[in-house]
Amino acid sequence: MSSKDTAGAVVIGGGAVGTAVACYLAMDGVDVTLVEHGEFAWGSSRRCDGHVVTYDTPPGAYSQFCKYGQDMFHAAEKFLPVDFEFSPEGLGLLVDDERDLDAVCANYEGKKNEGVDVTLWDRDDLRHHEPNIGDSILACLNFNGDCKLNPMRLCQGLAMHAEANGATLMTRTSVTGLRTDKGRITTVETDKGLIHTDNVILAAGVWTPLLADMVGLSVPVRPRQGHVLVTERVRNLVGKNYAEYGYLLAKGGKTRSDATPEMEHFGVAFVLEPSHAGTILLGSSRRYVGMNIRPDPTVMRIIAQRARHFYPALADTRVIRCYAGLRPCTPDAKPIISPTPLQGLFVATGHEGNGIGLSLITGKLISEMVRGQAPFMDISYMALDRFGTSSVTHSAGTTTA
């Protein structure tokens, strides 16, 4: 990988968000350098699933933001040099508790009014489409435009396209410090040397607070651990992506009527994604355990049990792999796509479980900000200052971690 000692902008982080930011900056003509501690998709972007969805946001501005972010993948599929296994096959929200049906139907109406392609399957429709569904599952709300992709291939494609548009890619490069002068960013210190620049974008997911801390800036992002189980290859067991309605409740921190204490404790809710290779990805869990990414057998067992409840035939398939990743989580569950009190310093993180799906729109918006344009849609509610954290120590000429 090449390196240069000056850049128009330096993006720190080579996951889905970082590579997307670098890609859009490069496409928009900015001389950009991407610095990644390991390789592309080295952190959370390879320890997740590939859902690109709108089902998990209530109707409103943020839901429309997610929809726009999703639509951008249809265009990216045409210009990115890597087949990232994009499949707009839809996602179904499964209901197994009668008490949830009213809320699901309200969500259905709200989304429909927003122009989202949704359909509702009753018990019989569901069995017609999914013959292997568990006997107790009552209904399914289908988000027909929801998609999935392969996150690692996406990151690779974005990085390659950034490079083709003039970006410098520096992998295996650690940022050791950020230098400022008179309230503006000037230099990125790395273990491969200095990069002088006017713009730095912190897009390092859960590691972003550590970088921001180098310049005395507080970014309230916490790592939230999530598990994914991967089965052996199977065929015809399941038709498309599914999640359980309780996932929305678990995500929102609400209590679910039929969840066991263990499920509540580990934030377990059923999510399923059949991959192109024939394996099935099973999730999910949510808990705060610091930077720990070691899979926990107890959490794995509860996820497997929950999956069997929805698809009993999964009991006969082997789990070949399990991984846990860290989702960058903000206090209000919305990303931070924002300038900072330091001129030239931008933050793009906090997407929690939606970083893959929101990567492209984040890249586009950050590129607009760096180039001094007004964002094409209102994202004021994603600004860093909504947390009241503008505690920058401007006096710091050089700060090193």
Partner 1 sequence: MFVKVTPSAARQVTIYFEGQPLEVDEGITVAAAVLGSSHGWTRTTHGGHKRGPYCHMGVCFECLMTINGVPNQQACLIPVAEGMRVSRQTGVPNFDKESCNHA
Residue 317 in contact with partner 1, rule: CB under 8 A? yes
Instruction: Quote the CA–CA distance of 391 and 340 in Å, as a whole number.
Output: 10
Candidate list 3, 64, 132, 144; residue touching partner 1; CB under 8 A: 132
Q: Which helix (H) or strand (E) holds 169?
A: strand 168-170
Candidate list 101, 105, 210, 234; residue touching partner 1; CB under 8 A: 234
DSSP secondary-structure letter at 115? T
Q: What number of chain residues touch partner 1 (CB under 8 A)?
A: 17
Instruction: Quote the CA–CA distance of 77 and 61 in Å, as a whole number.
Output: 25
Instruction: Quote the CA–CA distance of 216 and 399 in Å, as a whole number.
Output: 8
Nearer to partner 1 among residue 102 and residue 135 (C-beta) = 135
Residue 278 in contact with partner 1, rule: CB under 8 A? yes
Q: What angle do CA 366, 368, 374 make, to 5 degrees?
A: 120
- In whole angstroms, the minimum distance from the beta carbon of 274 to partner 1 comes to 11
Phi, psi of 80 (to 5 degrees): -75, 140
Residue 237 in contact with partner 1, rule: CB under 8 A? yes
Candidate list 29, 38, 60, 131; residue touching partner 1; CB under 8 A: 131
Within 8 A by CB and 6+ apart from 122, the residues are 139
- In whole angstroms, the minimum distance from the beta carbon of 309 to partner 1 comes to 11
Draw the binding track, 82-121, toward partner 1 (x: CB under 8 A; -: no contact).
----------------------------------------
- Label the pairing between strands 345-349 and 9-12: unpaired
Instruction: Quote the CA–CA distance of 1 and 18 in Å, as a whole number.
Output: 17
Draw the binding track, 289-308, toward partner 1 (x: CB under 8 A; -: no contact).
-------------------x
- In whole angstroms, the minimum distance from the beta carbon of 128 to partner 1 comes to 14
DSSP string, 245-261: HHHHHHHTT---TT--H
- In whole angstroms, the minimum distance from the beta carbon of 132 to partner 1 comes to 5
Q: Which of 37, 352, 347, 394 is nearest to 219 (CA)?
A: 347
Nearer to partner 1 among residue 290 and residue 312 (C-beta) = 312
Nearer to partner 1 among residue 14 and residue 274 (C-beta) = 274
Tokens of 187: 């230099």
DSSP secondary-structure letter at 222? E
Candidate list 78, 102, 124, 236; residue touching partner 1; CB under 8 A: 236
Nearer to partner 1 among residue 313 and residue 322 (C-beta) = 313
Q: Residue 1: CA atoms inside 13 Å, Cβ hemisphere, count?
A: 20
Nearer to partner 1 among residue 236 and residue 391 (C-beta) = 236
Tokens of 27: 């496409």
Residue 232 in contact with partner 1, rule: CB under 8 A? yes
- In whole angstroms, the minimum distance from the beta carbon of 232 to partner 1 comes to 6
User: Which residues contribute to the site for partner 1 (CB under 8 A)?
Assistant: 131-132, 232-237, 278, 308, 312-318
